């Protein structure tokens, strides 16, 4: 968590901005309303943060084919470039932690996480 916090601060992102960028990175193509609902943010807060990320050129909003009012979110090239070092660092720390815990603990952690998202 310290590594992620340090990377977030270096990038000049708020916690909410970081949360949104990482959510888009791992679930590209969600609509604005889908992502807002998953993150549990209020409409005004989410709209403000999305606007800030768009202004900084970190995200892209594309019209959904069937409904022109809906926008699908993806990271821009700048957003991908910004989040890649953080993703690599987090992945490496998870890998080290999982190796230290052993396969049984990893299986248990996966089982728990899958149960949480059902």
How does pLDDT run across 38-77, given as a tens digit for each residue?
999 999 999 999 999 999 999 998 877 776 677 889 999 9
Count CB neighbours of 31 within 10 A. 16
In sign, the C-alpha dihedral spanning 51, 56, 62, 68 is positive
Q: Which residues contact 114 (CB under 8 A, 6 or more apart)?
A: none
Of the candidates 48, 40, 53, 52, the one whose C-alpha atom is nearest the C-alpha of residue 80 is: 53
pTM above 0.95, yes or no: no
- Report whether 25 contacts 31 (CB < 8 A): no
Q: From CA 70, how far away is CA 113, in angstroms rounded?
A: 30
3-class SS of residue 67:
coil
- Walk me through the domains of the chain, giving residue ranges and CATH numbers: 2-83 (1.10.10.10)
How does pLDDT run across 23-43, given as a tens digit for each residue?
999 999 999 999 999 999 999
- Report residue 14: phi and psi, to 5°: -75, 165
């Amino acid at each position: 968590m310290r590594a992620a916090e340090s990377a977030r601060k270096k990038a000049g992102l708020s916690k909410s901005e970081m949360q949104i960028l990482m959510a888009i990175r791992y679930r590209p193509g969600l609509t604005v309303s889908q992502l807002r609902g998953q993150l549990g943010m209020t409409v005004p807060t989410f709209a403000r943060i999305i606007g800030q990320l768009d202004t900084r050129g970190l995200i892209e909003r594309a019209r959904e084919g069937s409904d022109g009012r809906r926008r699908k979110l993806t990271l821009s090239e700048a957003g991908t470039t910004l989040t890649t070092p953080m993703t690599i660092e987090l992945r490496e720390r998870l890998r080290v932690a999982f190796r230290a815990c052993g396969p049984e603990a990893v299986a248990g952690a996966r089982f728990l996480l899958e149960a949480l998202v059902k």
